[in-house]
Amino acid sequence: MDNNDSFPQRVYHILAAIPEGCVTTYGDIAALAGSPRAARQVGGVLKRLPEGSRLPWHRVVNRLGLLSLTGPDFLRQREALVAEGIQVSSNGQIDMARYRWRI
């Protein structure tokens, strides 16, 4: 990953590296992107992901393992996670000790 990439570009690269069946957190992505305190911006980037990108946006949850999305988006994320074998409770929480990805 190139240091003069923009913040969104860095986020894209990191996202692409998350293996199927694993998740990571907004804060971790921010740290990997070189801005440890920019977790909220990671959320902002994901929200504005280019139309039709194949990036696994659904593999990002908050530090507690909770899906930070609401409404129909929440349902889509849960569906996508379950589809790759990740167990998600009905309230939208996953077991971080089991699924969290670190390099």
Partner DNA sequence: CACGTGACCGATT
Partner DNA sequence: AAATCGGCCACGT
Q: Is 39 in the site for DNA (CB under 7 A)?
A: yes
Residues 88 and 81: beta-carbon distance below 8 Å: yes
Q: What character string, x for contact with DNA (CB under 7 A) and - otherwise, covers 78-97?
A: --------------------
Residue whose entry in the numeric block shows the structure tokens 């393992």: 65
Sorted by sequence, the CB contacts under 8 Å of residue 8 that are 6+ apart come out as 45, 48
Q: Is 41 in the site for DNA (CB under 7 A)?
A: yes
User: How distant is the alpha carbon of residue 9 from its chain centre?
Assistant: 14
Mark the segment that binds DNA (CB under 7 A) among 58-66, 83-91, 93-101. 58-66
Among 73, 80, 84, 100, binds DNA (CB under 7 A): 73
- Please state, in angstroms and rounded to a whole number, the distance separating the CA atoms of residues 9 and 13: 6
- Summarize as ranges the residues that interact with DNA (CB under 7 A): 6-8, 25-28, 35-47, 49, 57-58, 60, 62-64, 68-69, 73, 77
